[in-house]
Chain A
Amino acid sequence: MALIFAMALLWESARIIGGYSELLLPSISVVAYSLLMEKAELLKNAAYSLKLIGFGLAVAVVLAMLLAILCMSSRALQGLFTDVMAVMHPLPGIAILPVAILWFGIGVNSVVFVIVFSAVWPLLNHFYTGFRSIPKNQVEVGKNLGLSGAKLAFYVMLPASLPHILGGLRTGWARAWQASVAAELVFGAAGGHGGLGWYLYKKRFMMETPGVFAGMLVIIAIGLVVEYFIFATLENLTVKKLKQVID
């Protein structure tokens, strides 16, 4: 709370001291007014963005999990995916957008593809690292009890690598957000609706700077809510409670 207040103070004082125009740096009250006025549209766009991201992230998580399990089961695949990851991971998701448009056309599919592409590599990296850092004894106890393959992965490897999985979800979530906003900023709305990226695009196009700031504030607010209410709660209930990570 104190941090938000301090940032607001900094914002206002920078605006007053710098003497910036409302077009470059609008005052908080104007941004708040814009937030209030466009509440309905912002909510609609945010919901749409969240839907796309939720879907894309879910696909990416399942895909990354399957790939990570495959990597663990075969040395050849392990080598292959380490190389593929080294090539793909640094590639920004948005760079794949032209290809995505060629393949899937202008629309939701392209945006989802970019989201999946952006999130899957960091997810795979975290999951794979997590699986490899499980104490050998725990995996062998699982095998000793007769578990193998998918059952061993589900009952032992998954919970044992939870700290890494949570880390992966955090990175994947951030990458998915970035990808969805960036994709809409570059080529506009996906399908009939638009997400927050499309909202920012429109507001920038119309030179409605308070609207741009309002859109950014919503993105930040969603990020904070997800971090503090979802990830932190998950962490407190699991890895922190069980001292799997340093508190």
Chain B
Amino acid sequence: MPLIRVESLTKIYSSTKEGFAGIREVSFEVNEGEVVGVIGRSGCGKTTLLRCIAGFESSDSGKILLDGKSVSRPGPDRFMIFQGLDQLFPWLSLRGNLIFAMKTVNKDANMKELQRKAEYYLELVGLSEWGDCYPYQLSGGMKQRAFLARALSVNPRLLLLDEPFGSLDALGRKAMQDLLLRLWGKTGTTIILVTHDIDECIRLSDRILVFTKGTLKFNLINPLPRPRMSEDPAYMDFYGKISRILEKDANLKWANAVLR
């Protein structure tokens, strides 16, 4: 049985003659331990899909099944990392943020155990020395690592990442992708990753869902073995394939409007 199954999921915010905002009739499955990338142009419904799975948006129709059970409300079994750097609670230290998350999810846990686990996850993302710092004292990259540490500390079945490294520069981005892969290798957490960066999608994902205008156009298996090198001709082929699909989706009307 797949870990998560999405069946004919539809969520429309608004629609006009020319199109609609949201997603329509989206169906796919994600197996335990898989990294699935969701790629598409801005406004193609990637984030909507993720928010529906996380339970922040209710769908108009269709089902989301986690381990065969329907989910509709947010819960720690599907932990999401949002866009933006303001996700840590500013009144708690970094360690405090992790402990608060674990304590909220598991009320019976004892404090010593939580502290030990917080140290473990901080070390996993390389922030051991920063546990006492408050969010305003951390850089953007450190916050991103902290989000990952907190997310993993609550031991979710599914990790949902919404363009998680979008605010980082190229080097920071690469470092975070490597870190994510290392963490995934260690914990085996199932991940759905939304991105508009083809390279990021290929490097990280086992499977790639290509979205155009609110519908799931392609469900592609990533044929490349890890680690994936951009110099590899097979990588370039795969990149070209995805790129062509997305280019076809280019909104010509919008482009014309800009030219006019």
Contact = CB atoms under 8 A, between A and B. Distances in A.
Given A143-B56, A145-B104, A242 B74 contact: no
Contacts of B89: 138, 141, 156, 159-160
A144 interface: yes
Contacts of B136: 242-243
B74 A143 contact: yes
Interface string B61-87: 000000000000011101110101011
Contacts of B166: none
A137 interface: yes
B238 interface: no
A138 B74 contact: no
Size bin of chain A's contact surface = 10 to 19
B91 A145 contact: no
A238 B75 CA distance: 30
What does DSSP make chain B's interface, helix, strand, loop or mixed?
Answer: loop
Contacts of B79: 144
A146 B91 contact: no
What does DSSP make chain A's interface, helix, strand, loop or mixed?
Answer: helix
B154 interface: yes
B76 A145 contact: yes
B193 interface: no
A144 B90 contact: no
Interface in A133-177: 135, 137-138, 140-141, 143-147, 155-156, 159-160, 162
A5 B76 CA distance: 60
A242 B80 contact: no
B101 A145 contact: yes
A13 interface: no
B82 A140 contact: yes
Given A137-B84, A145-B76, A162 B91 contact: yes
Contacts of A159: 89, 91
Nearest to B101: A145
B134 interface: yes
A82 interface: no
Contact of A137 (B54, B75, B86, B104): B86
A73 interface: no
Contacts of A146: 74-76, 104-105
A244 B56 CA distance: 27
Nearest to A239: B91
Nearest to B86: A135
Given A143-B74, A145-B76, A242-B134, A138 B91 contact: no
A141 B104 CA distance: 11
Given A145-B154, A146-B105, A138 B87 contact: yes
* Closest 4 pairs (CB-CB, A-B): A243-B136, A135-B86, A145-B104, A143-B74
Interface of B: 54, 56, 74-76, 78-80, 82, 84, 86-87, 89-91, 100-101, 104-105, 134, 136, 154
Given A144-B74, A147-B104, 15 more contacts: A137-B87, A138-B86, A140-B80, A140-B82, A141-B82, A141-B87, A143-B74, A145-B76, A145-B154, A146-B74, A146-B104, A159-B89, A160-B91, A162-B91, A242-B136
21 contacts: A135-B84, A137-B86, A137-B87, A140-B56, A140-B74, A140-B80, A140-B82, A141-B82, A143-B56, A144-B80, A145-B105, A146-B76, A147-B104, A155-B100, A155-B104, A156-B89, A159-B91, A160-B91, A238-B91, A242-B90, A243-B136
